[in-house]
Amino acid sequence: MHFHPGGLTFCRGQIKQTVSAEGRVAMKSMFSALFLILLLAFVPRCASSVSQEVIFCDPPQAEIYWGKAENSLEKTGLKTPNSRSISASKLENWCYQVRKEGYHDSEITCRGEEGFRYLDFHLIPIKTAITSEPPGAIVYWGTTKDRLERTDLRTPRVITVEDLRTGSGADWNDWYFQVKKEGYQDSEIIFLPRQQHNRDIHFELTPVKR
């Protein structure tokens, strides 16, 4: 359908095409403005050249040690998980290690001056193998010699810090062990200080005289 106001002719299809073209121009302008806003927000971060360092560990709450070389690591007082920002001007080669009671120390990992440092350590529990002759003795343990607790463990048994009762307050330091079996005298009490190696305990039980 055509209209003829003042001798001019307008077509509805032309009006639709004109509106559609104007919409496309408006959308393009909007996207351009949005891109400019994002660019302006991003540029200052690039200009600051800030790097991120993230350190994880399984299990968590491991103590972080670091330094410029493998033989110069220092205790930081920080625990995993931990993250920090580092200025590009302070980026340098850096070495890391994590340690936790009852676990072998982690390997030492050194990194260069990369922009993002992500470290994920996995600690291996220290194993203590407890055996007795005869086997089947009940294991007792504790942090003090005069207050040993009975466990549900029997010899032979391999235990780790993960076997400790939650909330016992034990940290695997200065740990005492003893085994008991019906018909035999209680074993001697063995003291084991903190170690970074797997260890073995063996008890020889003496029959009770009848």
pLDDT digits over 16-36, tens only? Answer: 444 444 554 455 455 445 544
Distance CA 176, CA 140 (A): 8
DSSP 103: B
CA distance 42 to 51: 14
* Claim to verify: residue 86 and residue 137 sit in the same structural domain: no
Q: pTM of the entire structure? A: 0.65
Residues 65 and 39 in one domain: no
Average pLDDT of the segment spanning 139-152: 89
In angstroms, the CA 47 to CA 88 distance is 10
Give the structural domain span for 84: 49-122
Average pLDDT, the chain: 78
Q: 141: which 2 tokens?
A: 């343990």
Q: Is 167 exposed, middle or buried (0-12, 13-18, 19+ CB in 10 A)?
A: exposed
Q: Are 173 and 105 contained in the same domain?
A: no
Residues 185 and 199 placed together within one structural domain of the fold: yes
54 in any annotated domain: yes
